[in-house]
Each structure stands twice: as C-alpha cells, then as structure tokens.
Amino acid sequence: MATVSKPIILDETGQAILGALEDIAESMDNRNPNRRTQRNITGDLANLATAVAEQDLAKYGYSIGDYFIGASGYYYYLADMDTFYGGYNQYATVNTHHIGIVVDTKQERAWHSSSDVTNVGYNGSSLKTYINGTVLNNVKSDFRTLFGGSTGAEHLLSHQKLYTTAFANWAWTADQVISALTEVQVFGASIWSGNSYQQGEGSTLLEIFRKFAPYKILNAADKHAWLRSLASSSGACYASYTGGASNYGVTASCRVSGLILFH
C-alpha cells in the first residue's frame, strides 16, 4: 500500500521562519549578477545611480537584464557596466563610471527613406534622425519623471562615436547621447555587416546579450529590430525575432532600439 504523505502544518512561529527564509532566498537571487531573470525595477530606482557609481549592482539588488518602464512606454534594460569607460582614443574617452542601458521603444521605422544608402551611412540615415530626435526627447521626458532634474539629461553621458558616413567610410561625430546598436554589440561578431567600418566604437558584445538571447530584449513576437551596421550598400543588419541575425533593404519597417549611458 502506498504511503500518503501528510501535509505539514506550521504554527505561527514556523510560518514566520519560512517567510523569512523565502525573503532571504529572493534577496540572494536579486543580488546574483549572473541570474537569468529579468526583474521590473520601475519602482525601485532610488539607488541605481549609487550602484553605478560604486560599480556594484548586486549590492543594491540590481542585475544585468533588469528593466524599468517610462511613461512613453519605452523599456530600459540594464545592459553593460562601464561600457565605454576609458574610451577608445582621445575622441571617445568616458571617465565617469556608467552603465549602458538598451532602450526598446516598441516603435517601428524604416532604416532609411531611400534604397541607396551608400552616400549617407548610419550618420545620414532616417533611423539616426528619429533616434536622436523623437526617441531621445522621450528618454529625457521619462528620466525627468523617474529620476528628477530639469532637463532629463542629468544622468545621461555623451561622447563622440564613430559612425559610417558611407558603406565603406566613417568619421567621428560630435558628442552623441544615444545611438542604434551595432551587430557586434548584439551578436558578438560581424555576421552580415559588410566591412569593419560597420562597428565603429561599438565593437564589444554587451553583457546583457551574453546572458539573454537578443530576441528576448529587442523584439516583439513578430518584429525584427534594426541595428546600425550595414550589410551592403542598400541593406542594413537586424536582430530577428526568431533569434538570428539577418539583413533587410533599408526601406523596410523594423523595431527601433538604442543605447544610452547612465551615471
């Protein structure tokens, strides 16, 4: 005859101990920087700037992959600690500790309004214009609400970036606050991007994409996400909602995301 286990009934003391143990377990999970869960920290942002300044997310219960949501509907993912600290050369030096945050706008746009992007590169693209205008304005509005300040830019770092000005040419830009992601930042390698010009200063895989597949961060159920890297003179790279890397003609409509530096 099979033995039937009797339920364990805890008295008030036992229930209190069990609750305390569960709280400790949850706290330890939240402080594990390698955990593969994404926690909504929208209501828990008070210590974020301190955690970044001390370079210790776990101490304050944060982890790469955690996200918060702005009034705009944008999702902000903690992506990579000190992404550009020390810079690449005299043009791109960032001497303030910071964290790279991936901004998922949930919006769609064409990469460029023309099928011929050879003469404009990312620097002259419709995507960059939209990200540096509408998207950045919404980011600042969200940050005023979430973090205070008068402009919304108090926690945002800018530095010069190396953008393509043509399919096979590039140039350092004036200080930028936000930019689209490169193929290397998302996938860790050039897959479709046609030449080394396409990565610019964004030549290192972001930590968030070591922990999570890109489609878990950048994509809706059936929408690809644009990257700033070009695959050809008329096609740009994107992160597929199926999990892979590919490229499209630049007049196609895909999701828009970007990278900001928070301090």
What pLDDT was estimated at residue 144?
Answer: 97
What pLDDT was estimated at residue 118?
Answer: 77
CB atoms within 10 A of CB 131: 27
**pLDDT tens profile 58-109:** 999 999 999 999 999 999 999 999 999 887 655 667 889 999 999 999 999 9
Domain boundaries, the chain: 36-262
pTM to 2 decimal places: 0.85
By the 8 A CB rule, do 226 and 250 touch?
no
Q: How far is CA 140 from CA 129, 130, 135, 147, 211, in A?
A: 16, 14, 9, 10, 28
Residue 25 has pLDDT above 80, yes or no: no
Structure tokens at 37: 């869960």
Give the gyration radius of the chain's Cα atoms. 21
What pLDDT was estimated at residue 5?
Answer: 46
Averaged pLDDT of the chain = 87
* Out of 3-12, 112-121, 154-163, 196-205, least confident range: 3-12
Q: How far is CA 260 from CA 82, 145, 157, 193, 242, in A?
A: 12, 17, 8, 22, 25
User: Which among 143, 205, 49, 117 is positioned nearest to 57, based on CA atoms?
Assistant: 49
CA–CA–CA angle 26, 31, 32 (5° rounding): 100
